[in-house]
Amino acid sequence: MTGDLTCGIDIGGTKIAGAVVDAAGTVVAEARVESPAADAAAIGTTVADLVAGLTAAQAVRAVGVGAAGYVAADRSTVLFAPNIAWRDEPLGADLARRTGLPVVVENDANAAAWGEFRHGAGRGADDQLMVTVGTGVGGGVVTGGRLLRGAHGVAAEIGHLCVVPDGLPCGCGNRGCLESYASGTALVRAARSAPSPAILDAAGGDPAAITGPMVTAAAAAGDVVAIGHLADLGRWLGHGIASLVAVLDPAVVVVGGGVAAAGDLLLAPVRAAFDSELTGRGHRPGPAIVPAALGNRAGVIGAADLARG
């Protein structure tokens, strides 16, 4: 442990994770609670209680929060969140009042990207693209050693890159977004519409009960249908990454999120699609496409590091 402790919080639609983290990215203490996603006031109370519990035996100097939504350039206000009851929510100011500590708010995918950049799979690179594949598709961009936030704080919403004009509807209200084809939600939709006997058996015979981890487990056991569903998702993801790399030219692409637990069953088709679609392929350097190293801790580690300023 190297001292200079800060607290990182990762607020999602189903859970809130928290950790005390030192300057080397080492987690000193951590906890997790359910997220009262439908009640903005209750989220503030829950986070404040979580911080109080984590810091009772540890002196921290600031709190960093990764929030699943659009965070304004002030790094305090959540403008909008699709799965949490936040609309122009003064989250940072509210938590600073409740905790008595300085609070910095960042988009959750940005926080995870920063965690991987500083202490994970992107360490040593100046330019990194991170893609998180879970319920949706998120991402974060580090360029020249700094997070890309954009003019209004809401850059790098890569899941909403349009890959199919007038395609499948997306939860953001548009159609044809990468998230509609390359997310855990897309994986489950495909498996429910065309399950293998092994996947259906894992779900107790009910297609509506099929989950992403069931598909991944079946693929890991050699189920050809499950492997095909992951490969389809990987091809879409590789397609999107190729377009992003054409714009950003990162040294490394880090792939994280729950679906990334499938390992090479996902990453091999991602790399194959990327290699076949990258503009200028064969005549330009390309990035390594690697799995995230920090797992579910990336968000809290990144948020804690961002709190240091």
249 versus 13: which is more confidently predicted? Answer: 249
Q: What is the mean pLDDT of residues 197-223?
A: 97
Task: Please report the beta strands in the chain, taking only residues with DSSP state E, as ranges in sequence order.
Answer: 6-11, 15-21, 27-34, 63-67, 70-71, 78-80, 87-89, 103-107, 128-133, 137-143, 146-147, 252-256, 288-291
253-277: pLDDT as tens digits: 999 988 999 999 999 999 999 999 9
CATH T-level topology, domain 6-115+297-306: Nucleotidyltransferase; domain 5 (3.30.420)
The pLDDT, as a whole number, for residue 45 is 95
151-189: pLDDT as tens digits: 998 899 999 999 999 999 998 889 999 999 999 999 999
The span from the CA of 154 to the CA of 196, in Å, is: 40
Q: Which two tokens stand for residue 38?
A: 């439908």
265-309: pLDDT as tens digits: 999 999 999 999 998 888 899 999 999 999 989 999 999 999 998
How do the domains of the chain map onto residue ranges? 6-115+297-306, 124-292
The span from the CA of 257 to the CA of 138, in Å, is: 9
83 versus 63: which is more confidently predicted? Answer: 63
Q: What is the mean pLDDT of residues 4-29?
A: 94
Are 237 and 187 in contact by the 8 Å Cβ rule? The answer is: no
Task: Please report the beta strands in 157-279, taking only residues with DSSP state E, as ranges in sequence order.
Answer: 252-256
134 versus 102: which is more confidently predicted? Answer: 102
The span from the CA of 82 to the CA of 295, in Å, is: 23
Identify which of 181, 260, 184, 190 has the alpha carbon closest to the alpha carbon of residue 199: 190
The span from the CA of 178 to the CA of 184, in Å, is: 12
The span from the CA of 72 to the CA of 168, in Å, is: 28
Mean pLDDT of the chain: 94
Looking from the CA of 308 toward its CB, the CA atoms found within 13 Å total: 19
The pLDDT, as a whole number, for residue 85 is 85
Instruction: Indicate if the pLDDT at residue 2 is higher than 80.
Output: no
Pick from 44-48, 134-138, 224-228, 291-295: least confident: 134-138
Q: Which two tokens stand for residue 293?
A: 């190293």
Architecture of domain 124-292: 2-Layer Sandwich (3.30)
Share of the chain above pLDDT 70, in %: 99
40 pLDDT tier (thresholds 50, 70, 90): confident
Instruction: Indicate if the pLDDT at residue 1 is higher than 70.
Output: no
CB atoms within 10 A of CB 156: 23
CB atoms within 10 A of CB 20: 24
68 pLDDT tier (thresholds 50, 70, 90): confident
The pLDDT, as a whole number, for residue 171 is 84
222 versus 135: which is more confidently predicted? Answer: 222
96-116: pLDDT as tens digits: 999 999 999 999 999 999 999
Burial (CB < 10 A; 0-12, 13-18, 19+), residue 110, is buried
